[in-house]
Amino acid sequence: MSVDNRQPLVWDLPLRLFHWLLAVCVIGAIVTVKLGGGWMAWHERFGLAIFGLLVFRLVWGVIGSTHARFARFFPTPGRLLAWWRGRWDRPGHTPLAALSVLAMLLVLAFQATTGLFADDDIAFSGPLRQVVDSATSSRLTGWHMQMEWVIYGLVALHLAAVAFYSLVLRKPLIRPMITGRSVDDEDAEPARGGGWAVLLIALAITVGALWVASGGLLPPPPEPAPDLGW
């Protein structure tokens, strides 16, 4: 795949890595939960990875580069109306695509968070299960299982939209998310900001959130009673 450096860089590298790592982790979480049994340990790892990626995306959406910021593409009524009337010419997500992106992020955030407290009484217990009582954990586990079908629907819609834009409208969406460069608008505003210092801040916040989500603030389990050999 050749890259034309004259095309403006719209999607920065951290955003592109987030996109593809999230896709891998979601697939991994779905496959491992279907396999069950000993694979549930990997389901938990993928779930924690999704949680960390979403924390990073939240931070990056505030302090990251131009087109990664939520304020840049948040689908306000005015922006949706401008897009409907054919007056939307900004690079990056259209307002309709932004709705899809935000829906996906919110649902995955709900799924990852409820999974921290879930307990199926068989092969899985979330890292923060002991923080809540049995009734709350049971309720969150039920929501976690039901939301699985919503995720399937959103993923299917996302793939259908990519296919429609690529095959019908002839607007490639996959290549820019690999190269980061706009292929249909050489006058688009290139991404600015999101340098190394900002990236380190976002990563530090992500690591801290993952530590808490993994049970870092919980007291250590009691040591087993010594075996006196009686």
Query: What's 80's domain CATH number?
Result: 1.20.950.20
Give pLDDT, residue 163: 84
CB burial class (10 A; 0-12, 13-18, 19+) of residue 58?
Answer: middle
Length of the chain: 230
Give pLDDT, residue 75: 85
What are φ and ψ of residue 216, in 5° steps?
Answer: -60, -25
Q: How many domains does the chain have?
A: 1
Tokens 């092969």 belong to: 123
- Whether 125 maps to a domain, the answer reads yes
- Whether 184 maps to a domain, the answer reads yes
CA 230 to CA 226: how far, in whole Å?
A: 11
Give pLDDT, residue 5: 58
> Alpha helices, DSSP H only, in the chain?
13-35, 40-63, 70-73, 77-84, 95-116, 134-163, 174-179, 196-213
- Whether 204 maps to a domain, the answer reads yes
pTM to 2 decimal places: 0.88
Give pLDDT, residue 171: 74
- Whether 218 maps to a domain, the answer reads no
Q: What's the start-to-end Cα distance of the chain, in Å?
A: 70
Give pLDDT, residue 228: 61
- Whether 132 maps to a domain, the answer reads yes
Give pLDDT, residue 185: 58
Report the sign of the C-alpha dihedral through residues 110, 111, 115, 120, in that order: positive
- Whether 44 maps to a domain, the answer reads yes
Distance of CA 148 to the CA centre of its chain: 15
- Whether 174 maps to a domain, the answer reads yes
- Whether 102 maps to a domain, the answer reads yes
Residues 108/151, Cβ–Cβ less than 8 Å: yes
Q: Model confidence over 130-140: pLDDT tens digits?
A: 999 999 999 99
What are φ and ψ of residue 111, in 5° steps?
Answer: -65, -45
Residues of the chain with pLDDT under 70: 1-6, 88-89, 91-92, 183-188, 224-230
Give pLDDT, residue 13: 93
- Domain hosting residue 70, numbered range: 13-213
